[in-house]
């Protein structure tokens, strides 16, 4: 081996990081290595060189939205696909090329899992490229990942690759031609014989076709393969015909046992419906949601992680109000005390991968609960303790008001909007009830993909649905949902919201050049769900991210948000612009039923809500209540058009001079 060239196709930087990691370890073996971005690789010129030298090409490729290659790998994959089917190149165009492929994907996307890795491997093989080892696959879905995480999958593959490279460098083994009876998948002689005999008995013959090539690409990690490798170390023997019957009996027995084990496993992992979501019935060996690498990343982002799937973080508005520098828009719109608000989530996982996600897509995704589950009591207890510990760090900090510091230690509000999809947590109803038992109000945000869970949700202080787009195409582009039936789910979620009697809110996030031109479609969605309130907020720019193409140019000016809201209000006779929080670039449209005798009542009587929800629970839901039963009058400074523009005059406005204004928050 003269050199190893590592080409990567990466969107979020994971494959790029793997490429650099692999390069360092190859160099440590004394073999030259080069990391190449696929967008900088000219296959017409470079492949000719690779085919005539002793180099090895490694392709680390991620699968992106809808099974497509990442942006930097689009041209390379397009060229390779066309070359593999173009007679002008010929089937031996890449003869002499030695290669290995590792694909990165997420098995949650069942129809597109590792599509790019599979295709690149197949196309190279079709052009007579020769694999030095079978294709590896990394799975971001920790539940299905062979080794527990995509990082662990890569590590396992990397170890095998380095051993293979060392063997090639020493000339110990010939490269895999892919033309052997095992079709390039190196197994023990004993297992090969068993498969041959099984094939003979079934009167089937193997053909070296494109389909068979694709079928053998993945490495196996089964116990049988491991035992086969052990057998390979023992003295080999020739299979006599009289032994064929005994071997076939053992094969059939193993098959029967495997089928029985499969039925047993089906029973073990039998799923039941709880709160509309699938949950494990028995204590099978399921994995934790938070992997070590994810834990490290979230900790760096300031999260205080709880158990295996929850987290809490101190909101910047909590810090601001502790200093008397103003509260968040929820303080302006609904009267919460920002310094007494805990921002948390019982589920870091989500069913969307929104382009404006604050977490830059570092969190897990899924369409159902398939991880280990922590009890709600433990989650709440730890969340309160960690939140209070973060508040205590402000003791004695210059500018912090002593009375607000003491109040901040007693949590009064909980914003279940930190990140992820809280409603995915199977025990969300119990968690909400526990909040109310502690006299803590509940503000729950959902991404409108779980309609049945919305219907079965117990009363919360205020229930939000994120409406990030108003058409099927734009929603798919912005939210990038995992569900194939995401649009019917979205519409049904809005209908489910309309069935709720407590306070309901549509949360609209405006992304300039993405979703601000769909005024009529928005009005139709509002008619569908009939929310009590509509929050319209300009998207928050969270910095450059390889997973998102958003820039500051996509952040609308406050005047543009105001104009959008006023136009929307003109199309909705039952809604008017009620409140404004200029600092958050946010406005509130309210249903006119909250306008009593010409005055707005958008604030919440929190003590009254706690009384009503206690009666509701004590009567088993017989005595229900509505949003109008716990409304409170909105102060003049919070109203749209007021000179304060939503800033509480009881606080002191603080303007940063050296840094750009931060409009992030819950």
| Residue found under tokens 């039952």 | 574
Fold match, 3-170 / 302-638: no
Tokens of 138: 């990394």
Is the distance from CB of 565 to CB of 514 less than 8 angstroms?
no
Fold of 3-170: Rossmann fold (3.40.50)
Ramachandran assignment for 137, one of left (phi > 0), alpha (psi -120 to 50 degrees), beta (any other): beta
Distance of CA 338 to the CA centre of its chain: 28
pLDDT of residue 391: 96
Give the pLDDT confidence score for residue 364 in this predicted structure. 81
What is the CA angle 543-482-60, rounded to 5? 65
Q: What are the tokens at 25?
A: 């370890």
Closest CA to 604 of 590, 615, 622, 624: 590
Sites in the chain below the pLDDT cut of 50: 184, 192, 196, 199-244, 258-283, 542-543, 545-547, 660-664
CA within 13 Å, CB half, 591: 16
Separation CA 602–CA 579 (nearest Å): 9
Quickly count: other Cβ atoms within 10 Å of residue 256's Cβ: 10
In CATH terms, 302-638 corresponds, of 3.20.20.70, 3.30.70.20, 3.40.630.30, 3.30.390.30, to: 3.20.20.70
367: left (phi over 0), alpha (psi -120 to 50) or beta: alpha
Q: Where does 336-414 have alpha helices with state H?
A: 376-392, 402-408
Q: What is the pLDDT of residue 11?
A: 87
The H or E element that residue 291 is part of is: none
Q: Which residues pair with 614 in a beta bridge?
A: none
Distances in Å between the Cα of 620 and the Cα atoms of 488, 613, 614 are: 32, 10, 10
CA gap 11, 71 in Å, rounded? 7
Contact between 557 and 509 under an 8 Å Cβ cutoff? The reply is: no
Q: What is the pLDDT of residue 135?
A: 95
Alpha carbon distance 157, 60 (integer Å): 11
Report how many helices (DSSP H) and strands (DSSP E) the chain contains, helices first: 21, 22
d(CA 486, CA 196): 45
CB 340 within 8 A of CB 407: yes
Domain coordinates of the chain in residue numbers?
3-170, 302-638
Tokens of 480: 């990038």
Q: Is residue 449 a contact partner of residue 483, using CB atoms and an 8 Å limit? A: yes
Gap between the Cα atoms of 101 and 116, Å rounded: 10
Helix axes 43-52, 74-85, angle to 10 degrees: 70
pLDDT for residue 623: 95
Residue 225 pLDDT: 36
CA neighbor of 294 nearest in space, from 353, 361, 346: 361
DSSP class of residue 354? -
CB 239 within 8 A of CB 245: no
């Amino acid at each position: 081996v003269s050199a190893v060239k590592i080409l990567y196709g990466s969107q979020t930087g994971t494959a790029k990081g793997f490429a650099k990691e692999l390069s360092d370890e190859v160099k440590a073996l004394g073999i030259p290595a080069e990391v190449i971005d696929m967008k900088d690789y000219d296959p017409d010129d470079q492949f000719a060189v690779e085919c005539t030298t002793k180099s090895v090409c490694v392709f680390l490729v991620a699968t992106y939205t809808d099974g497509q290659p990442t942006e930097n790998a689009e041209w390379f994959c397009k060229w390779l696909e066309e070359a593999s089917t173009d007679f002008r190149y010929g089937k031996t165009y890449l003869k002499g090329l030695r290669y290995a492929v590792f694909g990165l994907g997420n098995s949650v996307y069942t129809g597109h899992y590792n599509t790019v890795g599979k295709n690149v491997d197949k196309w190279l093989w079709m052009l007579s490229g020769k694999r030095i080892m079978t294709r590896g696959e990394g799975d971001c879905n920790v539940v299905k990942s062979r080794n527990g995480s995509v990082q662990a999958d890569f590590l396992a593959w990397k170890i095998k690759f380095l051993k293979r490279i060392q063997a090639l460098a020493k000339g110990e083994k010939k490269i895999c031609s892919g033309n052997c009876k095992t079709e390039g998948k190196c197994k023990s002689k004993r297992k090969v014989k068993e498969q041959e005999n099984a094939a003979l008995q079934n009167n089937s013959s193997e053909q070296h076709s494109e389909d068979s090539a694709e079928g053998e690409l993945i490495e196996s990690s089964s116990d049988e393969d491991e035992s086969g490798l052990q057998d390979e170390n023992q003295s080999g023997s020739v299979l006599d015909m009289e032994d064929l019957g005994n071997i076939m009996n053992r094969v059939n027995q193993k098959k029967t046992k495997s089928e029985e084990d499969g039925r047993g496993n089906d029973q073990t992992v039998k799923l039941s419906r709880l709160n509309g979501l699938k949950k494990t019935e028995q204590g099978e060996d399921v994995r934790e949601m938070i992997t070590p690498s994810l834990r490290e990343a979230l900790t760096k982002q300031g999260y205080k992680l709880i158990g295996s799937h929850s987290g809490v973080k101190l909101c910047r508005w909590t810090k601001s109000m502790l200093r008397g520098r103003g509260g968040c828009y929820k303080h302006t719109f609904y009267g919460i005390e920002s310094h007494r608000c805990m921002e948390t989530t019982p589920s870091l996982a989500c069913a969307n991968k929104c382009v404006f996600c604050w977490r830059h897509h570092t969190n897990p995704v899924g369409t159902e609960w398939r991880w280990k589950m922590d009890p709600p009591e433990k989650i709440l207890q730890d969340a309160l303790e960690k939140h209070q510990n973060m508040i205590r760090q402000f003791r004695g900090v210059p500018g912090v008001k002593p009375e607000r510091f003491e109040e901040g230690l007693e949590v009064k509000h909980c914003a279940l909007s930190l990140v992820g999809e809280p409603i995915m947590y199977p025990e969300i109803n119990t968690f909400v009830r526990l909040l109310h038992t502690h006299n803590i109000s509940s503000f729950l945000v959902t991404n409108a993909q779980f309609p049945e869970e919305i219907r079965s949700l117990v009363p919360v202080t205020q229930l939000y649905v994120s409406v990030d787009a108003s058409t099927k195409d734009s929603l798919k582009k912005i939210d990038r949902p995992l569900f194939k039936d995401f649009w019917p789910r979205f519409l049904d979620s809005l209908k489910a919201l309309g069935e709720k009697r407590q306070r309901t809110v549509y949360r609209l996030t405006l992304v300039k050049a993405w979703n601000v031109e769909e005024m009529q479609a928005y009005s139709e969605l509002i008619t569908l769900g009939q929310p009590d309130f509509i929050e319209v907020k300009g998207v928050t720019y969270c910095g450059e991210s390889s997973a998102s193409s958003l820039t500051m140019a996509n952040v609308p000016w406050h005047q543009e948000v105001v104009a959008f809201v006023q136009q929307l209000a003109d199309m909705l006779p039952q809604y008017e612009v009620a409140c404004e929080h200029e600092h958050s670039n946010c406005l509130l449209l309210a249903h006119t039923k909250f306008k009593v005798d010409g005055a707005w009542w958008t604030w919440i009587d929190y003590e009254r809500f706690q009384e009503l929800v206690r009666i509701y629970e004590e009567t088993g839901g017989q005595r229900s209540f509505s949003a109008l039963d716990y409304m409170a009058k909105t102060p003049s400074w919070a109203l749209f058009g007021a000179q304060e523009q939503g800033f509480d005059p009881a606080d002191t406005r603080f303007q940063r001079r050296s840094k750009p204004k931060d409009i992030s928050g819950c």
